[in-house]
Amino acid sequence: MDQNLDKSELSDEQLVQSTLGNQENFLFLMKRYEVKLLRYIKRISNFSHEESEDILQEAFIKTYRNLNNFDKDLKFSSWIYRIVRNEVIGHYRKAKVRPQNITWDTEGIILNNIASDFDIHKDIELKYLNKNLNKVLSKMDKKYSEVLVLKYWEEKDYKEISDILKKPMGTVATLLSRAKKQFGEEFKKQDIKL
């Protein structure tokens, strides 16, 4: 690979190949995914910022150690998200703690996507949804809230979610359908007062 080539222009898979030849190139992959993955960890857990950073560093170490085993049939992003997800699960097991309150970043674009995809009545203002989204999602089964995070916050398609969760795409579709239903039910239970 040309040494003068701008690494930021390379695909993930090209960077993996480049890293196998020169370990310093792994820094480019880390920089590309650091913010996204840290945000993902925080969305699916109730860990502090420091704990989330520790989990991310462990995930990067495992990713680097296993680059030779990277399945080229997967997207690199799906593979690294799976590693991070497994690190979060492992951290829960070690600490024997289950999340009580999950904090969700609520951005306008995501709220619009959820509102339209869940067919929430137009008269419900997005600011209400923004204020209460955390409450609704924290009441849901973890398997359903997690699939919603992957779909709407991380903007993963069905194939990527399938790869991350190691579940068939049909199961992912079922989980999303049930998650939407449970989200709607929890939303209604909140006794909305506008």
Mean pLDDT score of the chain? 80
Residue 103 has pLDDT above 80, yes or no: no
Rounded to 10 degrees, what is the CA torsion of 152, 84, 170, 182? -50
Residue 191 has pLDDT above 50, yes or no: yes
Domain residue spans of the chain: 11-95, 108-189
Q: Which fold has domain 108-189?
A: Butyryl-CoA Dehydrogenase, subunit A; domain 3 (1.20.140)
Burial of 74 (0-12, 13-18, 19+ CB in 10 A): middle
The pTM of the whole model exceeds 0.85: no
pLDDT at site 159: 92
Of 2.102.10.10, 3.40.190.170, 1.10.1740.10, 1.20.1740.10, the CATH number of 11-95 is 1.10.1740.10
Three-state DSSP state, 182: helix
| CA separation for the pair 26, 23 (Å, rounded) | 6
* Segment 144-148 mean pLDDT: 89
pLDDT at site 57: 96
